[in-house]
Amino acid sequence: ERERDWSMGGRTISRGCLPLLTYVTMLVLATGYAHAADSLVSGGSLKVGETLVSQGGAFELGFFSPGGSSSRYLGIWYKKIPVQTVVWVANREKPITDGSGELTIDEEGNLILLNGRGSPFLLASSPAATALVALLLDTGNFVLADKNNRSRILWQSFDNPTDTLLPGMRLGWKGRRNRLLTSWRSIDDPSSGDFEFGLDRGRIARLSIWQMGATSWTTGIWNGQHFGDAPELSLLGPIQFQFVPSDVQLYYTYSPGMDLTTIARFVMDVSGNAKFLAWVESRQQWLVFWSQPRGYPCDCGDNGLCNNGSEPPCSCLRGFRPDYSTEWQAGRWSRGCVRRSELDCGMGDGFLPLKRVKLPLTLFSSAVFNDSRLGIADCSALCKKNCSCTAYASVDKQGTGCFLWFGDLKGIQENYGDVQDLYVRLASSDLVADVPVQRTKKLLPILLPAVAASLILIACASTCCWWRSKSKDQGDEMNNHELLLLEIGPEGSQKYQDFSLLNFADVVAATGNFSDENKLGQGGFGPVYKGTFPDGQEIAVKRLSRRSTQGLEEFKTEILLIARLQHRNLVRLLGCCIKGEERMLIYEYMPNKSLDFFLFDPGRAAQLDWGMRFHIIEGIAQGLLYLHKHSRLRIIHRDLKASNILLDGELNPKISDFGLARIFSTNNSEANTNRVAGTYGYMSPEYAMEGLFSVKSDVFSFGVLLLEIVTSKRNPASFHFTGSLNLLGHAWKLWNEGRELELMDPSLGDSCPVGQVSRCIHVALMCVQDAAADRPITSDIVSMLGSENASLPAPKKPAFFIGRQMADEGIPASCSINLMTVSAIDAR
């Protein structure tokens, strides 16, 4: 039979070709809809040109190349918005550069990205082998879940934000992890930029913007209803914002409110602005409804008062005058105001109440005491005790808690939506300057005796100060504690953000009134107790005894240093408690106590196999490297020893006790002190004998500690070795005889990697060399410990030997001298 011809668009197709055409058409359609679903199952893959679309069609996931970039990224964007708006990037730091790209769930349950060479980039992994599904939800959340129970989410993109906060996402703390927004590097480069936005790193209830780690803007503290300097974030049009300060999590989130059709997003953009945007369908564009930081409606500078309803909008606070009167008259108010009269605490400074004003900015020079038991009278007393305090207010509108400001005041406004009462410190002359003459005359009979009494009190106070400087009585110490409380306050709330002042009653309750059952140990500073707060958080309380050798300066040093340091191998300071003569430091609780608890007890030492010991060695080295090189400060610990290495539940080491630590200038190689304090047996010779300390002093201590970890023997007490040598001398002797492995704790057995043990002993001997210049720096120590094949230089003779005379004098092997002032040590 003759084939019938079919015409298509002017072309003739024979009937015999129809089956082939139908097959090809179906194949094309099948390919086009292969990934029109919202999920990817185990064994499946998503390649370039294919996408997942959420069930309601709101979001799409696939590979994209931003702008003119040739790199490929896996991202999520809005499906129905014509302008591609990316809200999440999976591989922002690992772009695919070979033009390919594939997303898959491998047979081990890992969600991975593959490039053209098959090199994997891990996005998420499943804790258990099970059937998995990767699902794109209509919220924009990309989740890895159990295929048979999709409500069991194992991983989600909402916990790993990039630069965008979508409705329902939580910005803030989840456990110990702070979920932040990080800007793109540029509009064509999704890699991490210089700006971050999120909840305060110190768990203080405020949002902040950081530029390269430095705070550039903050919302002010949450006052129970909204943020002090950004009240609009509690309600912005139809969008409902919410701040949740719970015991388990501390986060900020928002939802569309009643208008579920609103498409909104919160972005930390490349210019350093945090923006809230909404899509306006009629205009087919994104509109900015809120952006910070921005210029204030009227910038009246320092100590100025802004009122948009008046003309001019700026005036100086009472007691202040324009700093530059000509500019002020020309309408340029940003130079602000200065005091008419200098403050003088001894001459009766007082406080001027400003009713119903927007409080000053809290970004600079402020402190917060967020204690509901503090009233406005307590705030006044706290501010009066510190001459640097320039203003105070309650934290919330219920009149509880205290804000203190130090220095100039900026951002005070009248006729503002959110107002509270502010009390500004003024000189006594400015407080009465505007009082009517008749009223002043009436006050003279009161004021003159008061001034005379003040002069007498000043004379008495001067005499008392002279006497107290000689006697150092208890009253002086109590006053020091009060000053310390104020000194810690502003630093603790701004520079040292991971820090709180705790109430004495709460600490007493948490520790069971410092019961013996909760006592963890005893040191030269005093006892340590375990405590538990009502929310279940466990703490360790270091309670300084009255006889403690750790004085006020060491106590303050520990607070101001450790609260600025954050590393997985440094103990975390939660806060402190000061009441009268009581001084307490509150740390995270370490369930496995300290390293010496295990090392120097034969039964417990056997629980530490070599793998655990080497893990501890590496952790201590990493913590020390952070202190010496990678932290914002350069810190010399000066008291590194086994009892100052705490162990968490997984035996991760945490360096603790920073009371003797010193900030060290990067321009200096060593410093000198007249007061040598530390622990005998761990101190380097140049420090013990000459008071010279440097990073090499800590290196020496690390070397001693490394030998102790290998041997389970304490250096100061090791007088029983052959020839009455201490641990260093004994290790040196065995090393020279080629018998260094005899140093190993016998409980380690024969299963240890002898090469690794020998290398640790070698590194330890290099650390304890007599001359500081011969010792390695910390970065070299980390490198030497982690490199199995690198050759190491031969060590020179270690610093200290304990002579036969000391051993013959009958000093028991268990003796240990802690935190002693060394006047003479036999050394060679």
In this predicted model, which residue has the larger pLDDT, 752 or 813?
752
User: For position 565, what pLDDT does the model report?
Assistant: 78
Task: State the sign of the Cα–Cα–Cα–Cα dihedral 735, 737, 743, 749.
Answer: positive
Tokens read off for 587: 């740390």
How confident is residue 339, by pLDDT bands cut at 50, 70 and 90? very high
CA–CA gap between residue 216 and residue 210 (Å, rounded): 5
Spatial neighbors of 276 by CB under 8 A, at least 6 apart, are 236, 239, 264, 265, 266, 267, 288, 289, 290, 291
| Residue 205 three-state SS | coil
Render 539-596 in DSSP notation, one character per residue. Answer: EEEEE--TT-S--HHHHHHHHHHHTT---TTBPPEEEEEEETTEEEEEEE--TT-BHH
Instruction: Give per-residue pLDDT as tens, 706-740.
Output: 999 999 998 864 444 444 468 898 899 999 989 99
User: For position 640, what pLDDT does the model report?
Assistant: 92
Question: Which strands make up the sheet holding 214-218, listed edge to edge?
Answer: 181-186, 189-199, 207-211, 214-218
| Residue 627 three-state SS | helix
Give the CB-side neighbour count of residue 513, counting CA atoms within 13 A: 0
For residues 231-240, average pLDDT: 63
| Cβ-based burial of 68 (10 A; exposed 0-12, middle 13-18, buried ≥19) | exposed
Q: Of the residues 408, 639, 657, 698, which is catalytic?
A: 639
Spatial neighbors of 772 by CB under 8 A, at least 6 apart, are 670, 684, 686, 692, 694, 696, 697, 700
Q: Tell me, what amino acid is at 342?
A: E
Report yes or no: 670 and 699 within 8 Å, Cβ to Cβ: no
pLDDT at 806 over 60: no
pLDDT at 480 over 50: no
Long-range contacts of 30-38 (CB under 8 A, 24+ apart): 38/135, 38/136, 38/137
User: For position 260, what pLDDT does the model report?
Assistant: 55
User: For position 1, what pLDDT does the model report?
Assistant: 33
In this predicted model, which residue has the larger pLDDT, 378 or 826?
378
Render 706-773 in DSSP notation, one character per residue. Answer: HHHHHH---STT---SGGG--HHHHHHHHHHTT-GGGGS-GGGTT-S-HHHHHHHHHHHHHHTBSSGG
CA–CA gap between residue 407 and residue 429 (Å, rounded): 19
Tokens read off for 683: 């101190």
pTM: 0.43
CA-angle at 365, arms to 361 and 366, nearest 5°:
65
Spatial neighbors of 645 by CB under 8 A, at least 6 apart, are 594, 595, 596, 616, 620, 653, 654, 655, 656, 705
Q: Which helix (H) or strand (E) holds 27?
A: helix 18-32
Residue with tokens 């979508």: 166
How confident is residue 8, by pLDDT bands cut at 50, 70 and 90? very low
Spatial neighbors of 761 by CB under 8 A, at least 6 apart, are 706, 707, 710, 731, 735, 740, 743
| Residue 617 three-state SS | helix
Instruction: Give per-residue pLDDT as tens, 172-192.
Output: 888 778 899 999 998 889 999
> 112-121, 195-204, 626-635, 749-758: which range is least confident on average?
195-204
User: For position 448, what pLDDT does the model report?
Assistant: 60
User: For position 117, what pLDDT does the model report?
Assistant: 87
Most confident residue range from 74-78, 304-308, 602-606, 673-677: 74-78
What does the domain layout of the chain look like in residue ranges?
34-160, 304-431, 593-821
User: For position 800, what pLDDT does the model report?
Assistant: 57
Instruction: Give per-residue pLDDT as tens, 449-469.
Output: 666 666 666 655 655 555 554
* CA dist 226 → 205, 220, 221, 471, 546 (Å): 10, 9, 8, 50, 43
Tokens read off for 413: 């406004």
| Residue 147 three-state SS | coil
Instruction: Give per-residue pLDDT as tens, 618-646.
Output: 999 999 999 988 877 778 888 899 989 99
How confident is residue 790, by pLDDT bands cut at 50, 70 and 90? confident
How confident is residue 478, by pLDDT bands cut at 50, 70 and 90? very low
User: For position 263, what pLDDT does the model report?
Assistant: 87
Give me the chain's average pLDDT, please.
77
User: For position 271, what pLDDT does the model report?
Assistant: 79
User: For position 276, what pLDDT does the model report?
Assistant: 87
For residues 675-683, average pLDDT: 69
CA–CA gap between residue 658 and residue 309 (Å, rounded): 53
What CATH class has 593-821? Answer: mainly alpha
For residues 762-784, average pLDDT: 93
pLDDT at 238 over 60: no
CA–CA gap between residue 828 and residue 796 (Å, rounded): 12
Q: Tell me, what amino acid is at 673?
A: T
Instruction: Give per-residue pLDDT as tens, 125-169.
Output: 876 657 889 999 999 999 999 888 888 889 999 999 999 999 999
pLDDT at 815 over 60: no
CA–CA gap between residue 246 and residue 172 (Å, rounded): 11
Assign a CATH topology to domain 34-160: Agglutinin, subunit A (2.90.10)
* CA dist 463 → 294, 456, 667 (Å): 53, 11, 43
Tally: H helices and E strands in the chain: 17, 51
* CA dist 715 → 241, 618, 708, 729, 776 (Å): 59, 20, 7, 10, 21
> Is 639 marked active-site?
yes
Instruction: Give per-residue pLDDT as tens, 55-105.
Output: 999 999 999 999 878 899 999 999 999 989 999 999 999 999 988 899 999
* 763 phi, psi to nearest 5 deg: -65, -40
pLDDT at 40 over 80: yes
In 3D, which of 344, 305, 340, 307 has the Cα closest to residue 323?
340
> 2-16, 290-304, 380-394, 665-679: which range is least confident on average?
2-16
* CA dist 552 → 473, 481, 488, 523, 548 (Å): 14, 8, 12, 17, 10
pLDDT at 821 over 60: no
Most confident residue range from 66-80, 412-426, 540-554: 66-80
> 181-185, 427-431, 586-590, 670-674: which range is least confident on average?
670-674
| Residue 807 three-state SS | helix
